[in-house]
């Protein structure tokens, strides 16, 4: 990818087009992580609704251990989102080009760590499976908060339930039959086609990423995380290098 494109994609100077293109990349990666993680540990790690529901179910059934495991997953997702906000706001206060690239680079490093942990799952499942689930939940929280901060909460890359709901709303508005002569206080109901295209693309990319991630994990195992981590590093490296050059000139 050309360097100017990468600089616009993850640099501090934002545009709507850059936000959407970054969301496309991250939605694909989120789908791949979520599906690959399920094959690894038997749990989807971006689905906080399910995790909170499982907490309630297990508490009602008296399975305190399972309830605490779900609570740990929820707190890990929360910690990931908090970490993303901390890094972005710190980078903003330091006037860094890489205010959004820093959490992406952290995500890439954690994905590589996930790949390393995977090699120990078979022999030490009692220890490494819970750690891996917590790590993946942290990564999902970290990533979702990045694009949420960048887009001012207009775009998310892991919250498929919300996106599918919004697609349904827009389709309902598109199919709505307006009267031939609406009154002045009741304007026509019109669907937002641009928003519909965006949401449909994000959901499609999440599905595609899930398919590729699951197939990659099935074929080559945990090494399938390496291309995802490399992609994130490519997305983040240009603004980080720009900051390196800036501080080197000041030194």
Distance of CA 207 to the CA centre of its chain: 13
Q: Give pLDDT tens digits for 221-245.
A: 888 888 999 999 999 999 999 999 8
| CATH number, domain 3-242 | 1.20.1250
Sketch the domain layout of the chain as residue ranges. Answer: 3-242
Q: Across the chain, how many H-helices and E-strands are there?
A: 9, 0
Over residues 41-48, mean pLDDT: 76
Is residue 208's pLDDT more than 90?
A: yes
- The label of the residue with tokens 């952290």 reads 106
DSSP state of 114: H
Give burial (CB, 10 Å; 0-12/13-18/19+) of 153.
Answer: exposed
For position 21, what pLDDT does the model report?
Answer: 92
At residue 182, does pLDDT exceed 60? no
Q: What does DSSP assign to residue 95?
A: T
Residue with the bigger pLDDT between 209 and 127: it is 209
- pTM metric for this prediction: 0.86
Among 32, 36, 141, smallest CA distance to 84 is for 141
pLDDT band, very low/low/confident/very high, at 36 (cuts 50, 70, 90): confident
Which DSSP string do the residues of 159-222 spell out, in sequence order? -HHHHHHHHHHHHHHHH----SS--TTSPPP---HHHHHHHHHHHHHHHHHHHHHHHHHHHHGG
Q: Is it the case that residue 73 has pLDDT exceeding 60? A: yes
Say how far apart CA 145 and CA 102 lie, in whole Å: 13
The pLDDT value recorded for residue 77 is 92
- Contact criterion met (CB below 8 Å) for 32 and 222: no
Token couple for 203: 């959901």
* Identity of the highest mean pLDDT range in 4-8, 120-124, 149-153: 4-8
Q: Which residue has the higher pLDDT, 180 or 48?
A: 48
pLDDT band at 246 (very low <50, low <70, confident <90, very high): confident
- Do the beta carbons of residue 76 and residue 135 sit within 8 Å? yes
DSSP string covering 24-42, please? Answer: HHHHHHHHHHHHHHHHHHS
Mean pLDDT throughout 37-57?
82
Most confident of 7-11, 47-51, 160-164: 7-11
Q: Which percentage of the chain shows pLDDT scores above 70?
A: 92
């Amino acid at each position: 990818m050309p360097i100017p494109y990468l600089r616009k994609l993850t640099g501090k100077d934002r545009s709507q087009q850059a936000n959407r293109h970054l969301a496309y990349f991250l939605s694909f990666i989120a789908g791949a992580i979520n599906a690959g993680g399920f094959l690894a540990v038997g749990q989807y790690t971006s689905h906080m609704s399910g995790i909170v529901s499982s907490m309630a179910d297990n508490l009602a059934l008296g399975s305190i251990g399972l309830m605490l495991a779900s609570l740990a997953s929820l707190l890990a997702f929360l910690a990931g989102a908090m970490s993303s906000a901390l890094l972005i706001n710190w980078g903003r206060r330091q006037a860094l080009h890489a205010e959004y690239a820093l959490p992406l680079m952290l995500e890439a490093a954690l994905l590589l760590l996930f790949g390393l942990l995977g090699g120990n799952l078979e022999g030490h499942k009692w220890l490494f499976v819970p750690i891996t689930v917590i790590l993946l939940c942290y990564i999902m929280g970290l990533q979702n908060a990045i694009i949420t901060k960048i887009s001012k909460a207009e775009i998310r890359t892991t919250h498929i339930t919300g996106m599918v709901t919004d697609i349904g709303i827009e389709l309902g508005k598109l199919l709505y039959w307006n009267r031939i002569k609406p009154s002045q206080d009741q304007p026509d109901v019109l669907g937002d086609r641009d928003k519909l295209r965006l949401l449909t693309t994000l959901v499609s990319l999440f599905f595609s990423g899930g398919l590729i991630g699951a197939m990659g994990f099935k074929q080559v195992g945990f090494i399938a995380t390496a291309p995802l981590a490399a992609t994130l590093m490519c997305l983040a490296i240009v603004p980080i290098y720009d900051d390196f050059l800036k501080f080197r000139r000041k030194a």
